[in-house]
Amino acid sequence: MTTNHRDDLTDVDVLNRPEFIVEDALMHFDKRVDQWIYPAKSFFVAICYANWIAEDFGEQFYDVLNYNELLPDDPHFLPYERSKEIYDEILSKVNFDNTNGMVPDVYEYYQEEFMIGQL
């Protein structure tokens, strides 16, 4: 897994909105977001990664989502067992589509990190 990322936070607005986690996370699935809204972005990315890892590596979605090291460089990430209510609410409302919102951008990072299609 690569840890060399092309993120540059100098050109991105970063907001902290813990009171709107579910709404903001769902927004990332449906719309282009030009801000990084935490901790919602962490929940959004964790759900995306857990979905793709489960598909690509034959793992169980909730096992992956509960893995403490799923997003090792993200200080806002909480595994599933530590935030079940929030994850469950997001998952009950999300329409996961690889072509909507910020999902395609996150999928590019996922492919880079796991070197999907690069071997």
The domain ranges of the chain are 9-113
Angle 67-22-44 (CA atoms, 0-180°, nearest 5)? 45
Give residue-wise pLDDT tens across range 41-68. 999 999 999 999 999 999 999 999 999 9
What pLDDT is recorded for position 5?
47
- How crowded is the C-beta side of 8, counted as CA atoms within 13 Å? 3
Instruction: Check whether 27 has a pLDDT greater than 80.
Output: yes
